[in-house]
Amino acid sequence: MVKKVLKLALSLMLLLAVSAACSQNEDNSAETSEEAASDSAESNGLSETPSQADNNEENGSARIAQNSEERMMVYEANIDVETNNYNQFHQHLQEKMNQQDAHMVESNISKNEQGRRQGHIRIRVPQPNFESLLTGVEEISSEVLSRNISGRDVTEEYVDLESRLQAKEKIESRLLNFLDQAEATEDLIKISQDLERVQSEIEVLKGKINYLENQSDFSTITVSIQETAAGANLNNSPGNIWEETKLAFINSLHYVGQFFSWLVVFFLGYSPFLVLIAGVGLLFWLVRRNKKKSSS
């Protein structure tokens, strides 16, 4: 009986020990899982505090703003205006251009059937002064008929050209090293040909890069000017009419002199043919006269 009681007590003690060990293992595994989850969150950036998240958002906005400021843009504008006096408008436009460090690259002027002058002027202006010069053109105009502004983003094209240029320059450097080390004539010829081709491509890329830089640094404004009827009437003042009359008289004298000069050149230059024609005509007239006399 005593032995049965001891066996039962030992069994209870073993059961309690096993259950305690299992409970401790479950607690440890739970703590380990929590620590692993915490580490994973920290590694993935998910355990940031609110202040850290706000800072990251501000930094991202700052990077976007910086990239926007570094964009390379090419601006062009076309503006059609009217003016009462073309000469006065042209003078004021030149003053505005001098104020904005702009320069004229093309200028055309013509007159229509009503005597009104029309002009097209193409201007290159530093990009920071682009809007200021446009406003100045509108201020000196009698009326703005139309205004069109366009912008083109060439940032990606510029970056691509620079990357290609760097790659070509590296190839050029390697070819130069190979050229110094080459001894065989065939190798020298082959490397020289490759080097010439690469250098030509480098010059083309540099030209495109310089062109984009110039187009970005300076904007283009094309001004189309139409003179109104009032401006055309100013050109027909009494003083101008007298000057035009004198000019027409001088031109008519010039044309009369040219006509007589042409007659002299014609008769002297073609005199052999004229004498021959006159002789044939005289002979024909004499034959015809003799026939009339014989018939009578």
The bridge status of strand 117-126 relative to strand 103-111 is antiparallel
User: Rounded to a whole number, what is the distance in angstroms from the first to the last CA of the chain?
Assistant: 196
User: How many degrees, rounded to 5, is the angle at CA 172 between CA 167 and CA 175?
Assistant: 130
Could you give the CA distance from residue 135 to residue 149 in angstroms, rounded to a whole number? 13
pTM: 0.51
For residue 3, the number of C-alpha atoms closer than 13 Å in the C-beta half-sphere is: 0
3-state secondary structure of 252: helix
16: its two tokens:
């309690």
Closest CA to 154 of 200, 101, 217, 78: 217
Dihedral over alpha carbons 209, 70, 155, 126 (to 10 degrees): -60
Helices then strands (H, E): number in the chain? Answer: 9, 5
C-alpha distance from residue 179 to each of 190, 201, 227, 236, 264 (Å): 9, 19, 66, 75, 75
User: If you search the block for the tokens 């190839």, which residue do you land on?
Assistant: 171
Torsion sign, CA atoms 36, 40, 46, 50? positive
Sequential pLDDT tens for the chain (296 residues) = 444 444 555 555 555 454 544 445 444 444 444 444 344 333 333 334 444 434 444 444 343 334 445 788 999 999 999 998 888 999 999 999 999 999 999 999 988 877 788 999 999 999 999 999 999 999 999 899 999 999 999 999 999 999 999 999 999 999 999 988 888 888 889 989 999 999 999 999 999 999 999 989 999 999 999 998 655 554 555 555 666 676 677 767 777 777 878 777 877 787 787 788 888 888 887 777 777 777 76
Q: What is the pLDDT of residue 201?
A: 95
Q: What is the pLDDT of residue 296?
A: 64
Q: What is the pLDDT of residue 277?
A: 84
Q: Where along the chain do its domains lie?
A: 73-152+218-234, 156-217
Could you give the CA distance from residue 124 to residue 76 in angstroms, rounded to a whole number? 10
Cβ neighbors of 260 (< 8 A, separation 6 or more) are none
Give yes or no for a contact between 95 and 167, defined as CB atoms under 8 angstroms apart: no
Buried b (16+ CB within 10 A) or exposed e, 155-170: eeebeebeebbeebee
Q: What is the pLDDT of residue 283?
A: 81
